[in-house]
Structure 1
Amino acid sequence: MDLFNTIKKDREYWLVDQVKDESVPDQEYIEVFGSLLAEWRENQVAYLSLLMDATYEDWLLDQGFRKVSTIVEYTRELDESFAGEPGISVEALSDGGMSDSDFAELYEQCRSGSANKNKLFTIEQVMESLENELGLEWRASCFIFRKSGEPIGLSIPIIEQGTVDEGRLFYFGVMPEWRGKGYGAALHRISLQLLKGIGATTYVGSTDEANHRMIGIFMRNDCVLRNRKGIYRIDR
């Protein structure tokens, strides 16, 4: 199995996420990541952003990384149906009811005011990454939530890279003016049903440990804490 999932964008960035497996010795993780880090340096990529268990923190700091923050991962089985919310409609971007530019504006507004500290990309880079990471049919994975015709949030359900049934949300967000009214949990439940629809049997969601609003959404939808990882970054 791969011990790290890696997304590479030319010489701009590498995004690396440790795949936790209790049967793998710590030294093996260090050796594998050490090789990956050497490759990153050899290729002269601008920066590397890493999600890795905090038990490796001292070693990572010695390699030149700085700590950005800590994320928490929550999970639950998708073994039931999740009811929709009365008055809320769901449409895919591929349905044609919203332009790509309007979707980009919705995305930007949904992520404004976020408690997440690891802000890596401009909205232009985000839109570029959607096609790079999700493929040519990326619009079919992007869903817009509306109430009375007004966009109130969005969700991008995907199957995690390297798995066949682990559901993730590439992004999930609620418009600022609709936060704190219970809609976040409702839209998240709809997103869990969307994940079921693409074949996910489990859900894993993550957020910054400072994002208490999102953690509350996880807990209201019966997700349980699975793991904590540090966010680390190194620049060339």
Structure 2
Amino acid sequence: MRLFNVIKNEKKYWLVDQIQKDNVDQAQYKEQLSKILQQWKEGRSGFLSLLMDEAYEEWLLKKPFQKVSTIVEYTRDLEGLPRIHNDISYACLSDRKISEDEYKWLYGLCRSGTANKNDLQENMDEVLDSVKKELGPNWKDHCYYFTKDQDYLGMAIPHIEMGTKDEGRLFYFGVVPDKRSQGVGKELHKGALEILRTFGAAKYVGSTDIHNEAMIRIFQKNGGRLRDGNGIYRIEKETTRG
């Protein structure tokens, strides 16, 4: 039984995300994570970033992971969604209205100046490669952007969470810097939830750094309820012990 999702950039990092399952005890999670850590140590990647329940924190810090921050999760059912303003339009990369390079530029713009402490400081080629690895050959069908009067407002990458049938997630959501703190994020987030419904999602789970107050307000204004929080932990090759 797989208890963690793993995304690998073999030369730089592994991203490991705990899969919350009922009737699985801590010993099983620890055993599987220990095997993942051993595989990572034998490879060439520089660090491993882990998202995991903070109940394991004491054990993780002895590995020795370093705590980066806390991620909070909000959830809502996707029935009765609020409507996005009708003067905002959206399209996806597979519509071929813009190029991959232009989308990559927009992605980088939306990432700039955010409050997320777990920013991996990758270049945008690496960021887009991680999207392709996570979402597969039809990745362009998930890469949406929002405009008003032909000006970019932001972007979202909606998808159905791996291993589920109807849990909607956003691989990334962002607003361009000059449109922040104007209520734009709330409207774009409504649009992203609307897109998730067309993908067959019945519920939405959104997550962000506990310090990202702007994103937390968006979750709350669009009907999200706090579900739980998980720690972000990081371990470097040179700090590992045998």
Q: TM-score range by the shorter chain?
A: over 0.9
Determine the structure 2 residue equivalent to 1:117. 117
* 2:38 match: secondary structure: helix
User: Would you say the 8 A contact 1:82–1:190 is kept in 2?
Assistant: no
Distance in 2, Cα, partners of 1:177 & 1:102? 18
Give the TM-score taking structure 2 as reference length. 0.93
**By how many angstroms is 1:56 displaced?**
1.1
What does 1:156-171 correspond to in 2, within 5 Å?
Answer: 156-171=157-172
Distance in 1, Cα, partners of 2:25 & 2:136? 34
**By how many angstroms is 1:207 displaced?**
0.3
Aligned-pair identity in percent equals 48
Q: Deviations over 1:179-217 (max 9, x none)?
A: 111111111011001001011111111000000000000
User: Would you say the 8 A contact 2:91–2:144 is kept in 1?
Assistant: yes
**By how many angstroms is 1:101 displaced?**
1.4
CA RMSD of superposed structures (Å): 1.4
User: Would you say the 8 A contact 1:107–1:154 is kept in 2?
Assistant: yes
Determine the structure 2 residue equivalent to 1:7. 7
Determine the structure 1 residue equivalent to 2:101. 101
Determine the structure 1 residue equivalent to 2:207. 206
Aligned pair in 2 of structure 1 residues 208, 132: CA closer, same or farther (>3 Å)? same
Q: Which one is further off, 225-234 or 123-132?
A: 123-132
Distance in 1, Cα, partners of 2:30 & 2:192? 35
AA aligned opposite 2:149: S
Q: Is 2:85 the partner of 1:85?
A: yes
AA aligned opposite 1:171: Y
| Segments ≥4 residues shifted beyond 6 Å | none
Q: Is 2:188 the partner of 1:187?
A: yes
* 1:20 match: secondary structure: coil
Structure 1: 5+ residue stretches without partners: none
Determine the structure 2 residue equivalent to 1:59. 59
Q: Deviations over 1:34-56 (max 9, x none)?
A: 12212211234321110011121
User: Would you say the 8 A contact 1:16–1:49 is kept in 2?
Assistant: yes
**By how many angstroms is 1:22 displaced?**
4.5
Count the aligned residue pairs: 236
**By how many angstroms is 1:2 displaced?**
2.1
* 1:210 match: secondary structure: coil
**By how many angstroms is 1:82 displaced?**
4.1
* 1:15 match: secondary structure: strand
Q: Is 2:11 the partner of 1:17?
A: no
Determine the structure 2 residue equivalent to 1:128. 129
Determine the structure 2 residue equivalent to 1:138. 139
